[in-house]
Amino acid sequence: MSDLRLDATQLDRYSRHVIMDEIGPEGQQRLLEGSVLIVGAGGLGSPAIQYLAAAGVGRLGIVDDDAVERSNLQRQIVHGDDDVGRPKVQSAADYVATLNPDIDVDTYETRLTTDNVAELVAEYDIVLDASDNFATRYLLNDHCVLSETPLSHGAIYRFEGQVTTFTNDRGGENEDPPCYRCIFPEAPEPGTVPDCATTGVLGVLPGTVGCIQATEVVKYLLGKGELLEGRLLMYDAMGMTFETVDVLSNPECPVCGDDPAIESIEDVAYEGTCEISAD
């Protein structure tokens, strides 16, 4: 135990972790040394940021190019009324600073693109996708598959949410893990799926889904428990039901299949239906 670096304040702060056999001081040290890139500081990103910071995940990167709007506050709980008009990444970073001074926060006030995704993702152990658009989801999936970076996916719609985890580890126990494109090979046509500004969203819904994503990330960093790899968890808030369906790898998947057509993120037109470029 003498080589552990938890000080007295940390032992107090994380005491409910430290006393658990499954975590202990060694596990807490792993969390403090862990790093997570969170793409999106909105509805899903807010609870994920809160609980990862509270759990003592030592380094958080937050990517978002939006500013706080008053209509966000019904669900995006790391922001307050005084933050309206401020960049979401700054508001989120300030929240973390008041919650847990142990945590280092890197802010990226930018949109994730083919030009910056590789540089950003390379700095972190795992990516948490809290984005709200298909272009970012497919870009993250494709890059994480190609770079073998684990990815936590979450999405919400009105009263429903879904979560899964892609380890992208083809040398692990599951030699043929699925990816997002195995489930959804291409994005729907632009404009065919309305966003929450059009259809609304239950304010507490992203809290549940984002917390499940944070749980998956914590388990991954600890190396404990069973991840949602190969399983899609679907949550219906109105019926208060959870359903898990198995997700298999698709041998014809364009990015992780037997004969992949996507060998680089440059092969894809991410602003359309995220299909392979014709040229």
Give the Cα separation of 31 and 187 in Å (integer): 34
Please say if 196 is a catalytic residue: yes
The domain that contains 24 carries what CATH number? 3.40.50.720
In a domain, 42, yes or no: yes
**How far lies 221's CA from each of 113, 120, 143, in Å?**
26, 19, 20
Please list the ranges in the chain whose pLDDT falls under 70: 1-4, 172-174, 192-194, 196, 272-279
Number of domains in the chain: 1
**Residue 6 within a domain:** no
The single residue of 179, 182, 196, 253 carrying the catalytic annotation is 196
Read out DSSP for 196-220? Answer: HHHH-B-TTHHHHHHHHHHHHHHHH
Domain that includes residue 149, residue range: 16-267
- pLDDT of 279: 36
Q: Is residue 47 domain-resident?
A: yes
Give the pLDDT confidence score for residue 209 in this predicted structure: 98
- CA 231/CA 134 separation, integer angstroms: 20
Per-residue pLDDT at 210: 98
Does the CA dihedral 77-102-140-172 come out positive or negative?
negative
In a domain, 238, yes or no: yes
At 34-85, the pLDDT tens digits run 999 999 999 999 999 999 999 999 999 999 999 999 999 999 999 999 999 9
Cα(83)–Cα(202) distance, rounded to whole angstroms? Answer: 22
pTM over 0.85: yes
Distance of CA 108 to the CA centre of its chain: 15
Residues whose CB falls within 8 Å of the CB of residue 245, separated by 6 or more in sequence, listed in order: 231, 232, 234
Residue tagged 């388990």 (tokens):
219
Instruction: Establish if 1 belongs to a structural domain.
Output: no
147 falls within a domain: yes
Residue 45 has a pLDDT of 98
Determine how many CB atoms are found less than 10 A away from the CB of residue 2: 3
What is the bridge-based pairing of β-strands 241-246 and 231-236?
A: antiparallel
- Cα–Cα distance for residue pair 170/173, rounded to 1 Å: 8
Structural domain includes residue 93: yes
> What local confidence, expressed as pLDDT, does residue 172 receive?
64
Question: Does residue 199 form part of some domain?
Answer: yes
Q: What is the pLDDT of residue 119?
A: 97
